[in-house]
Amino acid sequence: NAGVTQTPKFQVLKTGQSMTLQCAQDMNHEYMSWYRQDPGMGLRLIHYSVGAGITDQGEVPNGYNVSRSTTEDFPLRLLSAAPSQTSVYFCASRPQGGSLNTEAFFGQGTRLTVV
Amino acid sequence: LAKTTQPISMDSYEGQEVNITCSHNNIATNDYITWYQQFPSQGPRFIIQGYKTKVTNEVASLFIPADRKSSTLSLPRVSLSDTAVYYCLVASFGSASKIIFGSGTRLSIRP
């Protein structure tokens, strides 16, 4: 199993551009989420999903959209990139709530710079 | 969601036992306590999880008192490779449960 795969690993955008960060998992996990991590800071939840077709906002959702058409994929879309969105983005997945296993698996991150 | 409070940073030396305490005064009945470790430029990695009393695995021990308002992650005989940020999280098993990270504890191990 590959676990959680994020693409791209690095990206530079110009202010105002849009792009989609990809996240895929092969563990059949229902729960997926996106975080951003600014230098020297903790992770902040952007959006999350508890299953295909179901998404909800996290702590810092503004400027981002998500969709969950399949169990495997959870893309994060930046609508109009701003320098404040320069950060490292992590995608995570974990088994469905109700399981005794709450271990979340994280991808390796996407380092995004907006100039 | 139960908020967690942990020290911003800690220092220790190789071979020592390190204990990191996390406060979660508003923990709910169906909440579990989980600890993650994060190395620079990597995503967080699950270390240990518990509900009450003591849990031990090959990496760490987790001590949770009866009132569950705090928990202590214990790392036995740390090495330089244990230098990382450690996050304490509280989350329920509910299907709509969000996983919220706090600021974490930056642990530095010296030779």
Mean pLDDT score, B37-52: 93
Among A38-52, A93-107, B58-72, where is mean pLDDT lowest?
Answer: A93-107
Say which residue the tokens 């990191």 belong to.
B20
pLDDT tens digit sequence for A47-67: 999 899 999 999 999 999 999
Q: How far apart are the C-alpha atoms of A50 and A63, rounded to whole Å?
A: 21
| Cβ neighbours of A109 in B, within 8 Å | 41-43
Q: How far apart are the C-alpha atoms of B51 and B49, rounded to whole Å?
A: 7
Search chain A and give the residue with CA nearest B39.
A108
Distance from the A97 Cα atom to the nearest Cα atom in chain B, whole angstroms: 4
Question: Quick check: A99 pLDDT over 90?
Answer: no
Interface residues from chain A to B (CB-CB < 8 Å): 4, 30-31, 33, 35, 41-45, 48, 50-51, 56, 58-59, 88, 90, 92, 94, 96-100, 102-109
Mean pLDDT score, A20-47: 94
B92 in A contact zone (CB under 8 Å): yes
Cβ–Cβ of A106/B103 closer than 8 Å? no
Residue A100 is predicted with a pLDDT of 59
Structure tokens at B79: 């090495």
Q: How far apart are the C-alpha atoms of B66 and A36, rounded to whole Å?
A: 34
**Percentage, residues of chain A above pLDDT 70:** 94
**Which pLDDT band, with edges at 50, 70 and 90, does B96 fall under?**
low
Tell me, rounded to whole angstroms, the distance of Cα A47 from its chain centroid.
7
Residue B3 is predicted with a pLDDT of 84
Search chain A and give the residue with CA nearest B86.
A42
Phi, psi of B82 (to 5 degrees): -90, -5
Residue among B35, B46, B90 with most chain A CBs within 10 A, to mutate: B46
Higher pLDDT, A96 or A13: A13
Cβ–Cβ of B43/A108 closer than 8 Å? yes
User: Is there a cis peptide before residue A83, judged by omega within 30 degrees of 0?
Assistant: no
Bridge-based pairing of strands A10-13 and A110-114 is parallel
Residue B7, number of CB atoms within 10 A of its CB = 14
Question: Quick check: A15 pLDDT over 90?
Answer: yes
- Tell me the three state secondary structure of residue A38: coil
Mean pLDDT score, A19-42: 94
Residue B62 is predicted with a pLDDT of 97
Residue B1 is predicted with a pLDDT of 59
Question: Quick check: A98 pLDDT over 60?
Answer: no
Give ∠ CA B47-B94-A53 in degrees, rounded to 5: 105
pLDDT tens digit sequence for B55-94: 999 999 999 999 999 999 999 999 999 999 999 998 876 6
Cβ–Cβ of B49/A98 closer than 8 Å? no
pLDDT tens digit sequence for B2-44: 689 999 999 999 999 999 999 999 998 888 899 999 999 899 9
Residue A1 is predicted with a pLDDT of 65
Nearest CB to A102 within list B49, B98, B100: B49
**Which pLDDT band, with edges at 50, 70 and 90, does A97 fall under?**
low
Phi, psi of A55 (to 5 degrees): -135, 160
